[in-house]
């Protein structure tokens, strides 16, 4: 891959260069010292991956990510001295289209070898995601069938651009939302707790990391929070599985959706939001085959139109909607089913 570095600290630039040069297959595309310069350089030469610092003068990493994703979209990894300390900016950048985030590796002192190894693993994982990103043509949506059973579960999957999209959907749901909510967002397990805390600040609904063995709770948002894949077992409890072991998307949206289609005895809504690649498309199709409502975000409102595009190609989405209409549709369908079941 051709990798660009955006960082205003020379020492950090040198560390990143050293690690990139340790790969025979990667090269440096260019280096920028602030976000403004990065936007300008990216307009002339789009790399395969940008290592983007968060805190910089003139234009920070969040603003630069937003500008690049609008003008010359490419894969961006946020690299910062402390993801925990800059959590709000990191998730804002991920909402704008950054793929993931990691701490800036160090090459000296305690933990330097481990930090470098984790950084290399992150680059390798992103390379798989980037190379597997497929161009898929959109197909038209079809009308949906509405269940009249109030025993619902809402399952949402997201990747690139997901944090802000999830915040938008969840914030539009009522505080007395009559169904449990489970979410698979592609995010590093190291930052999942911070992500859940951040997401909880964006909605009135309670949000927490799902733990193995958890029961579903009405109106509570459970977020996948380990390096394994979250699933629903036959007893309607949360479990985690390493399988498929070599699948690059973690936590996998497909695994979550497919487990719900297999094990959930009531009715479900599946929602696939913005993201690179095609994770979730097959799982959404399995949910549709149960005659459940399935929703994919439309192209115009996606930060990256990959996963919903894959679902549209498979005709897995009964509805393709702009982001600001998804929450309203969810509430309408579940409330309608609850009222009919109660009458």
Phi-psi region of 92 (alpha: psi -120 to 50; beta: other; left: phi over 0): alpha
Residues 11 and 78 in one domain: yes
Q: What is the pLDDT of residues 212-269, one digit of tens each?
A: 999 999 999 999 988 789 999 999 999 999 988 878 778 999 999 999 999 999 999 9
- Mean pLDDT score of the chain: 87
202 token code pair: 């964006």
Residues 160 and 309 in one domain: yes
Residues 266 and 329 in one domain: yes
Whole-prediction pTM: 0.78
Q: Give the total number of structural domains in the chain.
A: 2
Domain limits at 309?
A: 152-342
12 token code pair: 């950090």
Going by pLDDT thresholds of 50, 70 and 90, the confidence category of residue 109 is: low
- How far CA 265 is from CA of 176, 232, 243, 259, 261, in Å, comes to 22, 11, 23, 11, 9
* Segment (H or E) for 89: helix 87-96
Q: Which long-range contacts (CB under 8 A, 24 or more apart) does 220-224 make?
A: 220/180, 220/181, 221/170, 221/181, 221/182, 221/183, 222/180, 222/181, 222/182, 222/183, 223/183, 223/185, 223/192, 223/195, 223/196, 223/199, 224/182, 224/183, 224/184, 224/185, 224/192, 224/251, 224/256
Q: What is the pLDDT of residue 226?
A: 80
Residue 157 has pLDDT above 50, yes or no: yes
175 φ/ψ angles, rounded to the nearest 5 degrees: -65, -20
Between 288 and 250, the more confident residue is: 288
Task: Taking residues 284-307, report their average pLDDT.
Answer: 95
Residues 77 and 221 in one domain: no
Residues 79 and 159 in one domain: no
Q: What is the pLDDT of residue 107?
A: 63
Residues 205 and 100 in one domain: no
Q: What is the pLDDT of residue 338?
A: 47
**DSSP state letter for 305:** B
Out of 97, 132, 167, pick the residue that ends a domain.
132
Answer whether 269's CB lies under 8 Å from 150's CB: no
Between 268 and 109, the more confident residue is: 268
**DSSP state letter for 231:** E
In the numeric block, the tokens 């909880």 are attached to 200
Q: What is the pLDDT of residues 21-42, one digit of tens each?
A: 888 789 999 999 999 999 999 9
Query: Strand, coil or helix: what is 38?
Result: helix
102 token code pair: 């990691």
Task: Indicate which CATH number applies to the domain containing 28.
Answer: 3.40.50.2300
Going by pLDDT thresholds of 50, 70 and 90, the confidence category of residue 100 is: confident
Give CA–CA dist 198/201, Å, rounded.
5
Residue 138 domain flag: no
Residues 125 and 231 in one domain: no
Residues 303 and 162 in one domain: yes
Residues 176 and 260 in one domain: yes
Residue 108 has pLDDT above 50, yes or no: yes
Q: Cα torsion at 84, 88, 92, 95 (round to 10°)?
A: 70
Catalytic annotation, residues: 159, 186, 279
Out of 132, 167, 199, pick the residue that ends a domain.
132
Query: Strand, coil or helix: what is 208?
Result: strand
Going by pLDDT thresholds of 50, 70 and 90, the confidence category of residue 114 is: confident
């Amino acid at each position: 891959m051709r990798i660009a570095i955006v960082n205003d600290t020379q020492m950090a630039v040198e560390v990143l260069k050293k690690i990139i040069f340790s790969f025979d297959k990667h090269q440096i595309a260019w280096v920028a010292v602030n976000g403004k310069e990065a936007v300008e350089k990216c307009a002339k030469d789009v790399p395969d991956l940008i290592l983007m610092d968060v805190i910089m003068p003139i234009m920070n990493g969040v603003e630069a990510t937003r500008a690049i994703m609008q003008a010359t979209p490419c894969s961006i990894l946020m690299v910062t001295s402390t993801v925990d300390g800059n959590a709000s900016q990191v998730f804002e950048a991920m909402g704008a289209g950054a793929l993931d985030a990691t701490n800036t590796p160090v090459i000296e002192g305690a933990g330097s070898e481990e930090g470098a190894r984790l950084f290399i693993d992150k680059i390798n994982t992103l390379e798989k995601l980037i190379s597997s990103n497929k161009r898929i043509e959109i197909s038209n949506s079809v009308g949906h069938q509405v269940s009249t059973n109030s025993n619902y579960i809402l399952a949402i999957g997201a990747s690139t651009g997901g944090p802000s999209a999830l915040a938008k959907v969840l914030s539009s749901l009522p505080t007395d939302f009559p169904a449990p909510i489970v979410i698979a967002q592609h995010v590093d397990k190291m930052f999942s707790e911070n992500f859940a805390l951040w997401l909880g600040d964006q909605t009135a609904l309670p949000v927490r990391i799902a733990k193995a063995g958890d029961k579903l709770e009405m109106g509570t948002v459970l977020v996948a929070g380990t390096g394994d894949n979250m699933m629903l077992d036959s007893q309607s409890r949360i479990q985690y599985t390493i399988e498929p072991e070599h699948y690059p998307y973690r936590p996998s949206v497909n695994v979550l959706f497919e487990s719900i289609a297999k094990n959930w005895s009531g009715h479900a809504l599946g929602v696939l939001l913005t993201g690179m690649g095609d994770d979730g498309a097959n799982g959404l199709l399995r949910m549709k085959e149960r005659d459940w409502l399935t929703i994919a975000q439309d192209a115009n409102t996606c930060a990256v139109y990959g996963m919903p595009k894959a679902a549209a190609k498979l005709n897995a989405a009964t509805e393709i909607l702009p982001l600001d209409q998804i929450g309203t549709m969810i509430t309408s369908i579940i409330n309608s089913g609850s009222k009919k079941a109660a009458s």
